[in-house]
Chain A
Amino acid sequence: MDVNLKVKANLRIRAFYLFFVIGSIQIGVGVMGSPMYVFREARQDSWISIIIAYIFILFVLFVMLRILRQYDNADIFGIQVDLFGKWLGMALGTFYIIYFFVTLLTVLVTYIEVIQIFIFPEISSLVLGVLLLSLVIYSVLGGIRVIIGVVFLFFFLAHWLLLLLYEPARNIELDHFRPVLNASVMELLKGSRETVFTFAGFEILFIIYPFIQNKKQAGRPVYWGTTWAAAIVFINTVISIGYFSPQRMEEMEWSVLSLFKIVKFPFIERFDYIVVAEWMMVTLPNMILLMWVITYGLKRMYKVPQKITLYVSAGILFVLCGFVTYHYWIMNLTDALSNIAFWVVYIYPLILLPLVILKKKLRKRKKGSDQK
């Protein structure tokens, strides 16, 4: 396996689209329920926790870009092989792919559960699984450029939902935020830790980076993308805390979706139905990007054609989504994933950076000594 890869010119994308990739993948199913988890730790100061998490993510992204810039055109799979040798590198790469696969499964089952709770209680998970997965397969078959196109379009199709938050925002009780700074530093950090699942997804930068045409300009769209995502989570959390009583916040799953229950128009009585359906526009880019990462990663490491892995993993997901139906299973899955994500997404790059720099220095020295 080559460390650096050559991407054909017609498969490259402009750095500008990274904004939509990062912004979309960070906002997924997590945001629907995240205020509750953060609130349990940091209470009315949850908004500070989110800011802390955001700053940390900016730092991690900065580190990730530094790592990637040490190479000409490498992704995480290549870097790991370069650093740890073939066997360990491949094993870590495979682990990465399994991680993405579990993330995809979580997104899928969570969204299916939300549909079952809010709209169709009696519909089978398998039916929804087939419908969603067929859309995912259809988009991934189109290749990276189609995927980026879908992400770009769905970004605009989904984000108008924010305007609907006007109605709950009008009904917030500012007293719910007082007294400010009541939480201890430890509680604030614990609150930030709870956002891991919500904010995870930006690790896709490690894989999509070689496809970028103008790499020098990659930094700005990445940072803005994550800023956008953090702003949305921040707004949703603030409105949820103001809108719901503290006691209800602690017990409230899908608090963000419940915010829309008060939105009402003369022509549509219950807007929350529309919102749940519309949320597909939020989750679908997520699933498509994750599926692409899985198939692409397997092709890169094991040279399996993408079509085969696409159909196989869709098949496995389809079967699994029929099994993972109990609410507490989904919760456990999410918890386990967020624990793994914390190490894989937030901590691992920080360990990787010194290793990459060390390796580069060693290589230079070696080259220098060879020339002598």
Chain B
Amino acid sequence: MKKLIVLASIIVLSGCVQPRTIEDMGIILTRGVDKLEDNNIETTISYFEFNAQQKEYSNIVTGRANTIKQARIDANRKTDFRLTPGSSKLEVYGRETAEKGVLRYLDTLIRDARVSDTMLLAISDTTAKELLYKAEKHADVNTGLYLHYILERNILNNVIPRVNLQDFLRFYFDKGQDPFLPILSISNDKPVLSSLALFQDDKMVGQLPIEKAYLIGAFHKDLRDLFLEVALPSEPFKGQMRTDAQSKNETGIDKFFALLTVLNSKSKSKITDIQKLKFRTEVTFDVSLMELTEEIKLNNPKVVRKLEKEVEKEIKKQYEQLLAKLQELNTDPLGYGTIYRINKPNGELKEGEWYDYFPDIHVDYHVNVRIFRHGTER
């Protein structure tokens, strides 16, 4: 009898939890956040609905309010589904919003235990609203996840470094390190991944073309399977070229291109002189040669070595340009501040202290490129 009562109460009591039928839920997949001129927030929510009859699985609504959560409730008035953020995959901020600072919008994501840390973040070149509507129009299936897939694909291919919510917060809160986010823009009416947004604190201050994003990526992860196109001068390879001088004259440029697959990369930075803020960074790329716009005979190890040298020079140049640009914007996504911090006697950096030093640092880049293979051709 006693056991029966216990059993009955357990069964009955579980009814106290509010039921959430999956057919009634609008699962938020992508959310866009824009700050309006009257300081209100406009959220654009792309959500997934379970409906056997319909072909379109996802839908899009917008809402306005002073807080993000309230904007969601506002959006919820336009749909009969209950919008839930538990499976949110991507959050997009409009460019102007990002320039004013994104931390304020992240606060609700940090606070809410039900938001996943693996959610990706991105910046829209225009407004988040426009981008989401364009994605909705363009994609055939999985419209709510279209943008997320674009990013995920490119993160997997190491074109851009991964920045999910947890990564962003770590970059933001770690002193001597600034965050960065991918920018999605609209070209030919389609959303495309176009560049990398650079942040100072939580404010977007500049951007970097997507082709250069790997330079930052190499600092955070060992890159694999990344395709890399480098422009090289033709001059040093004159003797080994198969093509006659005629064709080169036609193009009129004294340059040729090489496409390399990065098999593996390693990067190591250290401080060499803490007083003078001198750093030394060593980056190694193990590559395999996939394509050359000029035919060069690679049968001689010396030629391969020469090619390696030229690629090294080019990447080193890219790094130096990158650093100059970063110093001008005063943002440090490469994390030199962290290296400075851990080598300081007390190991602490004050808020914003690194921004006083960063424009004056000197970095000595050493790039090693090793061409392991060059396909079936010699």
Shortest CB distance B277–A (Å): 18
CB-CB < 8 A to A117: which residues of B? 113
B118–A127 touching, CB < 8 Å: no
Interface presence of B317 (CB below 8 A): no
CB-CB < 8 A to A124: which residues of B? 16
Interface presence of B86 (CB below 8 A): yes
Given contacts A127-B16, A245-B169, contact A138 B87 (CB under 8 A): no
A-B contact count (CB 8 A): 78
CB-CB < 8 A to B347: which residues of A? 44, 178-179, 182
Given contacts A118-B114, A179-B347, A182-B346, contact A173 B17 (CB under 8 A): no
CB-CB < 8 A to A178: which residues of B? 342, 347
- Residue of B16, B338, B344 with most chain A CB atoms under a 10 A cut-off: B16
8 Å CB contact of B18 from A122, A176, A262:
A122
A contact residues, range? 35 or more
| 0/1 string, B176-203, CB within 8 A of A gives 1 | 0000000000000000000000000000
8 Å CB contact of B166 from A138, A171, A246:
A171
Instruction: Report the Cα distance A131→B7, complex, angstroms.
Output: 10
Instruction: Report the Cα distance A205→B335, complex, angstroms.
Output: 50
Instruction: Report the Cα distance A117→B86, complex, angstroms.
Output: 13
| 0/1 string, B9-30, CB within 8 A of A gives 1 | 1100110111000000000000
Shortest CB distance B125–A (Å): 28
Q: Which residue of B lies closest to A251 (CB)?
A: B110
8 Å CB contact of B169 from A118, A131, A134, A248:
A248
Shortest CB distance B317–A (Å): 28
Interface presence of B174 (CB below 8 A): yes
Shortest CB distance B321–A (Å): 26
Interface presence of A370 (CB below 8 A): no
Interface presence of A264 (CB below 8 A): yes
Shortest CB distance B263–A (Å): 21
Which residues in window 116-147 of A have CB below 8 A to B?
117-118, 120, 122-124, 127, 130-131, 134, 137-138
Given contacts A244-B170, A246-B173, A264-B118, contact A120 B342 (CB under 8 A): no
B9–A173 touching, CB < 8 Å: no
Instruction: Report the Cα distance A261→B10, complex, angstroms.
Output: 29
A173–B342 touching, CB < 8 Å: no
B342–A175 touching, CB < 8 Å: yes
CB-CB < 8 A to A264: which residues of B? 116, 118
Interface presence of A361 (CB below 8 A): no
Q: Which residue of A lies closest to B164 (CB)?
A: A262
| 0/1 string, B307-339, CB within 8 A of A gives 1 | 000000000000000000000000000010011
Instruction: Report the Cα distance A170→B16, complex, angstroms.
Output: 39
B117–A261 touching, CB < 8 Å: yes
8 Å CB contact of B13 from A120, A127, A243, A261:
A127
8 Å CB contact of A130 from B13, B114, B118:
B13
CB-CB < 8 A to A270: which residues of B? 86-87, 116
Interface presence of A258 (CB below 8 A): yes
CB-CB < 8 A to B114: which residues of A? 118
Shortest CB distance A238–B (Å): 16
A134–B9 touching, CB < 8 Å: yes
Instruction: Report the Cα distance A195→B87, complex, angstroms.
Output: 35
Instruction: Report the Cα distance A44→B341, complex, angstroms.
Output: 13
Given contacts A261-B117, A269-B87, contact A247 B173 (CB under 8 A): yes
CB-CB < 8 A to A257: which residues of B? 113
Interface presence of B6 (CB below 8 A): yes
CB-CB < 8 A to A258: which residues of B? 113, 117
CB-CB < 8 A to A134: which residues of B? 6, 9-10
A261–B116 touching, CB < 8 Å: yes
A245–B342 touching, CB < 8 Å: no
CB-CB < 8 A to B346: which residues of A? 182
Q: Which residue of A lies closest to B171 (CB)?
A: A245
A175–B338 touching, CB < 8 Å: yes
Instruction: Report the Cα distance A44→B13, complex, angstroms.
Output: 45
CB-CB < 8 A to A244: which residues of B? 170, 173
Instruction: Report the Cα distance A198→B16, complex, angstroms.
Output: 32
Supply 24 A–B pairs (Cβ within 8 Å), ascending by A: A44-B347, A122-B18, A124-B16, A127-B13, A130-B9, A131-B13, A134-B10, A138-B6, A175-B338, A175-B342, A178-B347, A179-B343, A179-B344, A179-B347, A182-B347, A243-B170, A245-B169, A245-B173, A245-B174, A246-B174, A247-B173, A247-B175, A248-B173, A262-B117
